[in-house]
Structure 1
Amino acid sequence: MRTGLTRYLLAGILSLSAVSPIQANELPLIANSSATISLEQEYQLGRTWARMLRGSAAEYGDPLLVNYIDGLLWKIAANSQLQDHRLALIVLDTAALNAFAVPGGVVGINAGLLLSAQDEQEFASVIAHELAHLSQRHYAQQLEESRRNTPLLLAGILASILIASADSQAGMAGITSSMAAGQQASINFTRRNEQEADRIGMLNMANSGFDPYAMPRMFSRLQRSSRFLGQNPPEFLLTHPVTESRIADAENRASQLPKPTYKKQGYDYQLLKKRVEVYYTKDINQLIKGYQLSAADDQLSNYGLALALIKKGDYSQAKTALKSLPSNLQQHLYIRLTYAELALAAGETQDALRQMEQLDKLYPDSYPVRQRYAKALSANRQYKKAARILSELSQRFPDNSFIWYELAETQGLAGNTLGVHEARVEYFLLIGATDKALQQIKFALREKGLSSSDIARLEERQREAEQVREQIKNAL
């Protein structure tokens, strides 16, 4: 759930858009009041589905990447035709190419998408496309047209995404089975849906200051790469087939949109891409050699080299690689955070804490900074202060399972057993493990010295957890 501050920021982004936006009422909203399910029903179903997904697939934990994607998502959403702006982002920990959006404002991005998109604009085009599917309520239309029940549709989406997150051979074997094939068919969009999502997505890109031509460029890149994949195309191409006519149509529509005033992108995207490359590499030594060879022509290769050396445990050489980055990059937030990450990895905990204290003063509202600050505090055994920071973050980002998990661990180190149980309740609810959440509530209610307000809060959460359990049960 977004705070009033976030809504204020969204309004600010919308009002500052430099491109003269085409009004939403010029676009057809095909899904109307006759749709099978209401927006509120979609929202509740989407949140239930999100819990099921979190409990079935690993999420990507790098706060820098999650925070970056979240920012792009809300920037484009502010210029979209969404009727309900209660969005939830899930970044999956898989190198497979995929992105998806399901009823209720749940947007999923595989971290591996960064490995396929050349730049920020191409990456944003995928987000814009998925948001357009949501704003036009294409899933509700499928329900209307096919008369399938919603739980079956959601189960099909979940199964398909989990298959896509597995290795390609196992994934394709699952897809070709009769059950998975039926589930796969339940989320394939019609050609009309895809064209509409392309058109509206490019419009929203232009209104958000992005280049709409980035979408056909991304399509062309995916089409070229798919030629080398034979019978094992990525999930995104199975549900969003790319053809020459679709690319040509997208280019034609992009030519009719206002010229964007998109500023030249900074280094954020390319730095994050290096982080993803290092994270998913299967041969760290080969990657290090590649970065060393390209360092003369690509100034960011030394950043990838530093990350790879940290992963390998060569901290001295990693620091040398970071220091070799140009002076204009030395003060970049991502670089400064990496220096602190290096210090933590090398066991230089006091130096890491000193660096994070400085960054926290400069970026007091930054989720990545606050999260890393809490980590540095814990490394220096300042558990209570770390728990306070994580508790604040949990209120700002209640759907972030990593924060609740870290908070539970830190509360334990701080000696706050009630805090441990309550944080675990929220973590287990987010991943759909309702029985474990209810068990933690029972443990919490047995704690000595509980106040009447503590008991009332826990009993209320118990009732809510039981409701969540029923919602998940009904969706299966």
Structure 2
Amino acid sequence: MRFIFSVTLLSICSGLLFTSVSSASTNLPVLSDRSSASVSMASEYRLGRNWARMLRGSAPLLNDPLTFHYLEELLWDLAPHSQLSDRRLELILLDNPTFNAFAVPGGVIGVHAGLITAAGSEDELVSVLAHELAHLSQRHFAQRIEEERRNRPLVLAGILASILIAAADTQGGAAALSSTMGASAQAQLTFSRRNEEEADRVGMQTMVAADRDPKAMPQMFSRLQRSYRFYGQRPPEFLLSHPVTEARIADSLNRAETLPNVSHRAYSPEFDIIRTRSEVHLSAQPGEILKRFVADVNSSNPAVAHYGAMQAAMRTGQLDVAKQHFNQLPEPWKRHTYVKLSEIELLLAENDFAQAERRSDEMMALYPDSMPVMKIHAQVMHTSGQPERAIPVYRRLLQDYPTDTDSWYQLAEAEGLTGNIIGVHEARIEYFLLTGNIDSAIQQVTFAKREPNLQPSDLARLEQLEAETLEIRQQIKEDL
């Protein structure tokens, strides 16, 4: 295994290792120093994006356009206020119930869906994102490389493997990560503490600049620490990779107290909508969670209860119940874009394609450039037997979100339904490249070149894709 594969692992883990904090460090790293010069930013970018290909192919992704859009908006709200010099960010949302998030060199931010349900407020969720952005801006990856060259790099391969396993298999990942961390050197711990202190501090500074409450960070730490008692001998994945201590909570709270106050934000339902949506999606017992939301409709927050009941009833196939709870939502919620799109999802579940199309057309007229609106609209066209109308929407989406594996997959399906075989091959090639399945991508190029009646423009595109595929395969071979 190449050395760069080993050091990649701990760099990724720097975002995962919320290690305990002792004394506060006040010095920012010098980006031009020897540690940061160990790997160029261009190399970090390439390495991170190729690692992301492997992650997409190894772990289940949460293809929910509403949740993705919400988290991406939070990231882009933070990024201008961070110390990032390279703001080419990519969000990867994992369909995983564990409490976890990580930052990969090259601007890749990974979020497990379970982290959304773990947060008690939007600012608590934002605090984790700010922390991960700080790891990227301070280039802890480059520092780690230099540190590990002087220590034991072989430990890192086990940690990276554990992260990949944890993303795809929470049980196996927990055991592997626990074993690997138990074998790591004490010297690495001191280095991690320094980076984590800095990520806490820089992350809270970013929050203040973005008008977010920095006290949400210690609040999030406290919430995660309290959750430990519910897991007995085996804590959730987040607590295995992000140890939280009283000292760290106290330290972050003291830091927050020294920062300027931020203005109070008016209530907006986005966090409640997405958190409830994630909670229902991740529930192993949708029938039980439906009962819980129905029992809560007379609580202090009936809108959340009705939306949750609507989502849970859809999961259990009780579409009449879902419709009843949608109708009981307060008007401000019904006017919200996310709830309007949720209604379209309900109409699709009811096979009311005519009404779904009408509502979807209305949303496209109002928000023609909205990612979740386009995704739902393409789904409506595709599901209702109009793939020719879905294809241009998928193509528009992919101009802005070229790494959206779900859109490439759906585009291939839609192209097949319209008889555009070359379009099927091209979309499948892109899908396989994004999921690290290079052999399948090359195979698709070969199949496409065998198609009869290829136009010169078709052949030129295929040759370009073939060259790109071979280049990516060489990069992965060299880097990973």
Q: What's the TM-score, normalizing by structure 2?
A: 0.89
For 1:60 and 1:424, the matched residues in 2 are separated by 19
Q: Which runs of 4+ in 1 moved over 4 A?
A: 148-157, 166-169, 176-189
> How does 1:283-362 map onto structure 2 within 5 Å?
283-297=285-299, 298-299=301-302, 300-362=304-366
Alignment partner, residue 143 of structure 1: 145
What is the letter of the counterpart of residue 32 of structure 1? S
Aligned twin of 1:221: 223
Letter of the structure 1 residue corresponding to residue 411 of structure 2: L
Q: 1:241 maps to which residue?
A: 243
Residue number in structure 1 paired with 2:396: 392
Do structure 1's residue 32 and structure 2's residue 32 form an aligned pair? yes
Please report how far the alpha carbon of residue 170 of structure 1 lies from its aligned counterpart in structure 2 after TM superposition: 3.3
Q: In 2, Cα distance between the equivalents of 1:40 and 1:149?
A: 25
Return closer, same or farther for 1:379/1:176 CA change in 2, 3 Å cut-off. closer
Letter of the structure 2 residue corresponding to residue 369 of structure 1: V
Distance 1:173 1:120 in 2: 31
State the AA in 1 paired with 2:28.
P
Cα gap change, 1:266/1:243 in structure 2, threshold over 3 Å: closer, same or farther? Answer: same
- Residue 174 (structure 1) shift: 2.3
What is the SS of the residue equivalent to 1:296?
coil
Q: How many equivalent residue pairs?
A: 451
Distance 1:244 1:182, change over 3 A: closer
Q: Which sits farther off after the overlay, 141-150 or 223-232?
A: 141-150
**Alpha-carbon deviation of 1:52?**
0.7
The equivalences for 1:151-162 within 5 A come to 155-162=157-164
What is the CA–CA distance in structure 2 between the aligned matches of 1:424 and 1:183, rounded to whole Å? 44
The correspondence of residues 114-133 of structure 1 with structure 2, limited to 5 A, is 114-133=116-135
Query: What's the CA shift for 1:239?
Result: 3.2
Deviation track 1:44-69 (CA, whole Å, cap 9, x = no partner) reads: 10011000111111111100001111
Structure 1 position 180, deviation (Å): 9.0
Question: Is the partner of 1:109 in helix, strand or coil?
Answer: strand
Take 2:388 and 2:476, find their aligned partners in 1: how far apart are those partners? 35
Contact 1:31-1:140 at 8 Å conserved across structures: no
Q: Mind listing any 5+ residue stretches in structure 2 that lack a counterpart?
A: 1-25
**Cα distance in 2 between the residues matched to 1:461 and 1:183:** 44
Q: Residues 165, 456 of structure 1: CA spacing in aligned structure 2 closer, same or farther, 3 A cutoff?
A: closer
The equivalences for 1:76-475 within 5 A come to 76-147=78-149, 155-165=157-167, 169-177=171-179, 181=183, 190-297=192-299, 298-299=301-302, 300-475=304-479
Partner SS state of residue 220, structure 1? helix
Aligned residues of 2:93 and 2:111 also touching (Cα < 8 A): yes
Q: Which moved more, 1:441-450 or 1:91-100?
A: 441-450
Supply the distance in 2 between the matched residues of 1:372 and 1:279 (Cα, whole angstroms).
Answer: 17
What's the % identity of the aligned pairs?
Answer: 48
Aligned to 1:22: none
CA contact (8 A) 1:31 1:141 kept: no
Shift of 1:455: 1.4
Q: Secondary structure at the match of 2:74?
A: helix
Whole-Å Cα distance in 2 between the matches of residues 462 and 291 of structure 1?
51
Question: For residues 178 and 253 of structure 1, do their structure 2 counterparts lie closer, same or farther at Cα, with a shift above 3 Å needed?
Answer: closer
Q: Cα offset for 1:225? A: 1.1
Measured at CA, do residues 185 and 323 of structure 1 come closer, stay the same or move farther in structure 2, by a change above 3 Å? farther
Bigger shift: residues 456-465 or 418-427: 456-465
Q: For the residues of structure 1 that align with 2:448 and 2:432, how far apart are their CA atoms?
A: 14
Mapping of residues 38-57 of structure 1, within 5 Å: 38-57=40-59
The amino acid of 1:96's aligned partner reads T
The CA deviation string for residues 84-120 of structure 1, in whole angstroms up to 9 with x for no partner, is 1111111111000100001111110001101110111
Give the partner amino acid of 1:368.
P
Distance 1:153 1:102, change over 3 A: farther
Give the aligned CA root-mean-square deviation in angstroms: 2.4
Specify the alignment match of 2:10 in structure 1: none
Q: CA deviation at 1:231?
A: 3.4
Cα distance in 1 between the residues matched to 2:426 and 2:175: 41
SS at match of 2:81: coil
Name the amino acid aligned to 2:210.
S
CA distance in 1, matches of 2:43, 2:59: 24
Counterparts in 2 of 1:138 and 1:310: CA distance versus 1, 3 Å: same
Asked whether the equivalents of residues 160 and 184 of structure 1 are also in contact (C-alpha less than 8 Å), the reply is no
Distance 1:335 1:458, change over 3 A: same
Name the CA distance, whole Å, in 1 between partners of 2:294 and 2:185. 45
**Contact kept? 2:130, 2:204, Cα under 8 Å:** yes
- 1:209 offset after TM fit, Å? 1.3
In structure 2, the CA distance between the partners of 1:475 and 1:194, relative to structure 1 (3 Å rule), is same
With 136-145 and 116-125 compared, the bigger mean Cα shift is at 136-145
1:464–1:254: structure 2 CA closer, same or farther, 3 Å change rule?
same
- Distance (Å, rounded) in 2 between the aligned partners of 1:221 and 1:469: 43
Name the structure 2 match of 1:17: none
Query: Matched residues in 1 for 2:187 and 2:450: separation?
Result: 49
CA distance in 1, matches of 2:255, 2:349: 49
Deviation at 1:181, TM superposition (A): 4.8
1:64 matched to 2:66: yes
DSSP-derived class of the 1:201 partner: helix
- CA 1:143–1:253: 2 relative to 1, 3 Å: same
Q: What displacement does 1:453 show?
A: 2.5
Instruction: Report the Cα distance in structure 2 between the residues aligned to 1:150 and 1:63, rounded to whole angstroms.
Output: 41
Counterpart Cα distance in 1 of 2:185 and 2:447:
39
Of structures 1 and 2, the one scoring higher in RCO (CA 8 A, sep 6+) is 2
Displacement, 1:381? 1.7
Structure 1 stretch 325-334 or stretch 428-437: which is displaced more?
325-334
Contact 1:367 1:393 survives alignment (8 Å)? yes
2: CA distance, partners of 1:43 / 1:167: 27
Structure 1 residue matching 2:231: 3-state secondary structure: coil
